Chains A and B, each alone.
Chain A
Amino acid sequence: MEFNSLSFIIFFTTIFTLYWIIGSKNNRKQTYLILFGSYLFYAWAEWRFLIFLIFTSILTFYVGKFIEESKSIKQQKLLLFIGLLQGIGSLLFFKYSNLVIDSINSLFHIVQINQKIPRLDVLIPLGISFFTFRTLSYLLDIYHKKIDTCKDWLHFFTYVAFFPSLLAGPIDKSKLIIPQLEKQREFNYFQIKDGLKQILWGMFVKVVVADNCALIADNIFSCYNCWPAKTLLVGAFIFTIQVYADFSGYSNMAIGFSKLLGITITKNFNYPFFSQNIAEFWRRWHISLTSWLTEYLFTPLSIAFRNFNKFGTILAILINFTLIGLWHGPKTTYLAFGFFHGLMFIPLIIKGNINKKNKKLELKKLPSLKEFINILFTFTLVTFLFIIFKCNNLEEVKYIYTKIFSKSIFYNVVLIYENFNYTIFFIVIMFVLEWLTRNKEHPFELSNVKSKFIRTMIYYLVLLCIFIYSVDKGANFIYFQF
């Protein structure tokens, strides 16, 4: 059940109506409704996954409770270990077991052992990486005494399974969601109106921009050896925009649907393509994942490596980004994607620019030439790295890079897609709107447009664009697979 499907619209309208009518004066009823809705939403894809989700919730809830109640540090450590083992263990099992098996088989082959371990035929529970990171942060925060345990199972289970962000994030911290579940939620007209606008923006970006980009990019990369360099390059740019539009579109819809339920969740993207260097890009891209890893991985690693000065930071960054790459799945291309992103940080670490924030740009109408070149350079760099992300193996990556830097870059671009022109038009519209509203949460706030009539007409126009220019059988959300 995808956010842009009719079944979800029917599902959400029902939940929304019951939520504000039946549960308007009883926050427990509201929370029950969210939990029921979340489980229904999850079971819609595959009911067996629901058992796993409930099991993870139960285990984390009680392990958290016991950690807090336990007086002995040794016992706390053991409990934390159990909790982490379940979380990380299930992630490793579902996502990486075949990678491990393949590696062992390769090792057997090298040392000439005539044994082959069969690959496991496991279905990966949808959104496992997202809800597992939520439960892990909950346990770690309790262990480090950053938060108190959640006393009410209902609130905790709802936090873990909260359907707008269940399948593809954002990865919210419990201290953000649980307090909101505990208190009475009031029907806030302005919040709901804003939520609807944000959903519309997310829908536009996903359905009109991302899905059309997917048609082009998939076509180019499915036959990467058929095209000249320029076409591959165009494909790489289009794919990078596709990933952004797909994921940020989803995130905007998730935030919008949460607002409709009176709940605020984390912003996941902050106009990353206006970044002036790779560090800034990662502060603006998939924010909830990067901040999670910064808190629970990069910071402890930096402290552990602090004696190595800049080399220590480089090492921590490389480990952090390699894991970000691997988080996407058991593929060497994902690993390389993360590792190379890490490598791009090295010049910034050496120059000491890694944490430098450019606030000036947010206040300007247009960037200076230098800023523009920086933005363009960062976008191009990211695009080249997304080629790795798109490819199925490193041979493909090598082939494409070699081709792009070959003589065929001077040949004419070959594009046979009838949707190409309007896709480019909508990409430009998306970026222009984002640039103009980059200080706001989303471009459809339209607070500068004073006339209600014009605002309404803009929304109708967007709906019309979604209707006409969507792809009939659009691509699935890319991040659902992670």
Chain B
Amino acid sequence: MPAYLLEIFVVLLGLAMLGMEAFAGRGSRATIGLVGVAGLGLTFALLLFAVCCPEEGLSYWGIYHFDRPAAFYKGIALLSTMLVLVMAREFAPVLKRYTSQAEAHAGLGEFYSLPVFVCAGLMWMASAKDLITIFVSLEVVTMGFYVLVAYMRRNVGSLEAGVKYLILGALSTGFLVYGIAWVYGVTGEFELAAIGEVLAGGAYSERAALFAFALVAVGLGFKIAAVPFQIWVPDVYQGAPMPVTAFLSVGSKAAGFIVLLRVAEPFLGAPAINGPVVLLLAVLTCATLIYGNLGAIPQTNVKRLLAYSSIAHAGFLLMALPSVAGGGEIAGPGGGQAISFYLAGYLLMTLLCFTVLTVVRAGTGAEDLGGLAGLAKRSPLLAFAMLVGVASLAGVPLTVGFFGKFFLFNIAVQEAMRSGLWIVVSVAVLGAAAGFYYYFKIIRAMYWDDAGADGDPGGDAALQLGGLTRVAVVLLVLAVLFFGIYPAPILGLLG
């Protein structure tokens, strides 16, 4: 089965869900979310068993490429969308309050089907190897997010987040297009492989090439939330509906990093401009690590805390980027593999945290640390799941987050030996240490703080957990722990 059918299948699934919302009776509307989860699961199975993985990369029409990394990122897109839909079902009561539809589940069909279209965009992006396809699929993804962020339109926070995201997103898109135009002007090519050849050849203006890379880096810096392009992150994360925040932090970040990996490779591979590009990335990395980790410390809103943590994680990921072009031998997994592994682990742990938070939010209406107080007594399963997720985000051994950080640091140290930029590694070590402090604040709130102290509204009631959500939480916990002990399967997928 040709790989491009996967996306077509996903788009058709989205259309079918829209159709159900429009034409199906009241009773079956409640199942739209389930249909989405099932359809995406089926697509994931097709990806694993019917499509994956050709020995060498396939290419259709010279536009759509399918190789191991593409399959891996398609898998990430499908899995995260599935979990987001599970979360969205749990979040439906909150959403309903702020969209004010007459009946339960009415008007939620769009909330379930938009992530499916975004997923198709993410999957196309994983297969894109020329700037035009990358740009178009990136816009498909971003357009979906604009709508999703502002979905709770009767909530001022959500609207504010939507407007901020729209304006800053449009601005970053402008930078990206301008950068792409400069890249084309310098090299005369849109294909990344051809761009790499021209840049390695040396017959071009170095200054113009660097200007082009800087513009592209600004545009993509917005998407991955690197400092100094991070201003939107805390407000948008806090204002957006919880499942959308989770999707943003996983989907949008993964998308930004695939594109950055692909686009940075030709520039890093060109000997003439490698030095300045590495320096630029090092400055971005340091700023991102410092801002993200220090900014997270005083936060009391959990979503805001996770927003800063997401900035910090972008910093850790950026650390490995300079080694992508393969300058010199690297022991252990290479730069691209380490980043992909970290993103896969990040998907598991972030979605785990957000699933728990979604349940807490829907149950108690609280989003700050106080809402988590005494969670261990109210719902031991949720508290344990959150404990695993947060520990993994901090990078405690025996969780997948530990191996992710381990591989990234491994690369960063070897990269520093080559380039002499040891400051990046030391900042990252400090950042990881600071991470323990604010992540453990969440654990302290759950296990040691007393729920009754601040008069929590639904303090004593046990939280309701849907069956599908329970399965998802348990599976995520097991996955985080399993890959934290035995990461070989993910590395095997990466080849």
Does A associate with B in a complex? Answer: no
